[in-house]
Amino acid sequence: MSGPEDMARGARPILEVCVEDLQGVDAAIAGGADRIELCAALAVGGLTPPASLIRVAASASDASGVPVHLLARPREGGFVYTTREQALIADDIRTAADAGLAGIVIGALDADHRLDLPALAGWAAHAKSLGDARGRPLSLTLHRVFDLCRDMPDALESAVTLGFDRILTSGGTPKAIDGVKMLAALHRQAAGRIIVLAGSGVSPETLPAILVTGVREVHASCRAPITTPADPAELRFGFTSAGRSATDRDAVERLANMVAGHPALE
């Protein structure tokens, strides 16, 4: 695992963009994203995407140099996983490694709203083994299951012990702008041992206040409404939904420029 290398002295902030389809991969790269989180079903917080999209994203990453991290989440609703579901996530980790992706994004809780340490330790060891075998480590991100933990400072220490590189969090609130006090506290607690990646509701309007917390990585969807009317028949059959949105190249570029223009660590 790579460790919190992006926290190095002189590093500028980094923008990660979460995408759910091929158009999103292209828009994120064209707009200047520093990293991509590859998902499906962003409307429910993201799920594991199909293998076909993983392969295409890996090729795009190779061509552009933009690293891609795979979200491994087998279903919506809840983060307490059965043994069989844990095996699905382990297989997704292997898929990411075999495809040549740069990292994985994982998380799990126990019934008491604490991190499921045995499951996470197993996945982390699996990722390390796969990274060693291919000669390039898989970066580990703990996803926003962290925000559901009953004791986030304690969970941060567990994430450090498990060897995670970063934690994606909104500071325990639905939107990061409302969790800036906790984000600042977590960043201070991390003290360079792990990266705090601030996400949820990150926009040009909220970015300045979020970066004041000291975090140097932000996560955003950069989505905009699709203006083309949906086919009425597709709506009637439930094959699409009203109010659709998609990753927007211009939105990525605007946020990327703001991030790039922010002062580097001194």
Identify which of 230, 256, 187 has the alpha carbon closest to the alpha carbon of residue 34.
256
In this prediction, residue 264 carries a pLDDT of: 64
Distance CA 4, CA 190 (A): 10
In this prediction, residue 265 carries a pLDDT of: 56
Please give the helix or strand (H or E) that residue 168 lies within, else none: strand 166-169
In this prediction, residue 8 carries a pLDDT of: 41
| Residues written for the chain | 266
Distance CA 139, CA 119 (A): 17
Distance CA 109, CA 145 (A): 7
- Count structural domains, the chain: 1
pLDDT under 50 in the chain at which residues? 1-10
Looking at the domain assignment, is residue 31 inside a domain? yes
Angle CA 185–252–92, to nearest 5: 70
Looking at the domain assignment, is residue 6 inside a domain? no
Looking at the domain assignment, is residue 117 inside a domain? yes
Looking at the domain assignment, is residue 1 inside a domain? no
Residues spanned by the domain of 241: 13-261
Looking at the domain assignment, is residue 121 inside a domain? yes
Residue 7 burial (C-beta neighbours within 10 Å; 0-12, 13-18, 19+): buried
Q: What is the CATH number of the domain that holds 146?
A: 3.20.20.380
Looking at the domain assignment, is residue 237 inside a domain? yes
Looking at the domain assignment, is residue 266 inside a domain? no
Looking at the domain assignment, is residue 7 inside a domain? no
In this prediction, residue 1 carries a pLDDT of: 36
